[in-house]
Amino acid sequence: MRSKLNKEILNLAVPNILSNLSVPLLSSVDTALVGHLPEPYFIGAVAIGTMIFNFLYWGFGFLRMGTTGLTAQAYGADNNPEIIRVLGRALLVAAAGSVLMIVLQWPIVSFSFFLIEASGDVEYFARSYFYIRIFAAPATLGLYAMQGWFLGMQNARYPMILIITTNLLNIGFTVFFIKVLGMKSDGVALGTVCAQYSGLVLALVLFHRKYWGYLKSLKWAHLFYVDALKRFFMLNGDIFIRTLLLIFAFSLFTAKSAEFGDDILAANSILLQLWMVFSYGIDGFAFAAESMVGKYIGARSYPTLKVAIRLIFVWGTGLGAAFSVVYGLFDETIIRIYTGQENVVRLALTFMTWTIAAPVINSICYVWDGVFIGATASKAMRNAMLISTLVFYIPLIYLGMNLLGNHGMWLALLIFMFMRGLTLTLMAKNHIFNFAES
């Protein structure tokens, strides 16, 4: 059984790893392109602009995560009508959410810069970035729903095709706008808009190619069943709160980095890119957990579920250890990919130790996230994040800043990730394993 499960894990994880790594590759290319412009505030502008969109888009991350869990359980139960209804509900929420963001764009950006202390140059270019990229919202949220649904259908190949194609197009558009047309950080934003709509068209083509027949089971009135909608919004509401707190943690880190000046902001932004690289890699196994846990719970195959979870942890933490080794051996080489500004390179190397330690520590909570999402145990995820953020992270980041400066902020961020893993581990007995035994 272990051999079969390992094969299933890798069949789901490897395409997800390849596609996920293209996401930080994109942001890394963006950072490298603006990092080699004459002034460091272009890096800061993209970092701040991206942070704002993280609040908006990652807050709607439930459209992928919740859709995966619900679809996987319907797939495991062989419930074809519910499979397509889950997608329909997710796309309706995506459409409503994107329209709301576009309508409220001015209050959103104004409130963001009321909270963020940044230099005048950083704020000016970050605002320009925001007002361009906001028009990608319908495509971005629609892609979240489609990718989550494909994963719930145990199809990791389509999300891989979507994500890699979209991000390669994004890189191509951004290089063209910056290198050929001479745009600055606004070229990064425009490249994202063009690529996201291209990706959404591709998603619809892929759906039509393999899953068009499911539409025969769809009756529009069934999308609005009260019990199903209640479960959809309760699950996704918990995931929304959990994701919003995660975004808040990283956004607070970026905002506080800006208070140390443009050079520290640039160095911290580069190191956070490295956090994103390994997190997206390890998330390949988390996504495999979402698909497999949901399927085995839907099929009520609980002994197999337990073995699968243990094996996914072995793979996920092993990949985290590999990232730590690579970061430790090639630290300066990696940093210089992002920027040629010597002061920023020196600062990034000063704080690199925290990034070397992070992959092994963080891998625990990343894999647990996938397990809890597949089990639709969203309330426990939400509570673990509340404890980790409010009890530990927020007090520690302010204390760390005052006592240890930028080192203190990195220490607080690492403790935050450790506590996420610890709280989810403690909650797993009641919310995952006892459930499987019942």
pLDDT tens per residue, range 95-117: 988 999 999 988 888 887 777 76
Which of the residue ranges 82-86, 191-195, 239-243 has the most confident prediction, judged by mean pLDDT? 191-195
> What torsion do the CA atoms of 25, 64, 410, 352 make, to the nearest 10 degrees?
-20
Task: Name residues whose C-beta falls within 8 Å of residue 156's C-beta, 6 or more positions apart in sequence.
Answer: 11, 12, 13, 14, 15, 16, 150, 287, 288, 291
State whether the Cα torsion 422-423-424-427 is positive or negative.
Answer: positive
Average pLDDT over residues 62-67: 78
Task: Note down the domain range covering 320.
Answer: 2-437
Q: Is the pLDDT of residue 138 over 90?
A: yes
Q: d(Cα 111, Cα 128) in Å, to the nearest integer?
A: 15
Query: Residue 438's pLDDT is what?
Result: 45
The better pLDDT of the pair 26, 271 is held by 271
Calculate the average pLDDT of the chain: 85
258 has pLDDT over 50: yes
* pLDDT given for residue 318 in this prediction: 94
Q: What is the number of alpha carbons within 13 Å of residue 159 lying toward its C-beta?
A: 33
Q: What is the mean pLDDT of residues 214-223?
A: 70
For the chain, helix, strand, coil in percent to 5 are 90, 0, 10
Instruction: Record the pTM.
Output: 0.75
| Average pLDDT of span 317-327 | 95
Decide if pLDDT at 295 tops 70: yes
Long-range CB contacts for residues 22-26, cutoff 8 Å, separation at least 24: 22/163, 22/164, 22/167, 22/168, 23/163, 23/167, 23/276, 23/280, 24/273, 24/276, 24/277, 24/279, 24/280, 25/167, 25/171, 25/277, 26/167, 26/170, 26/171
If one counts the domains in the chain, the total is 1
What integer is the mean pLDDT of 264-269?
A: 87
Q: Is the pLDDT of residue 216 over 90?
A: no
DSSP one-letter code for 44: H
Mean pLDDT of 428-436: 75
Identify the weakest region by mean pLDDT among 7-11, 109-113, 434-438: 434-438
- Give how far the C-alpha of residue 32 lies from the chain's centroid of Cα atoms, to the nearest Å: 20
If you average pLDDT over residues 320-329, what whole number do you get? Answer: 95
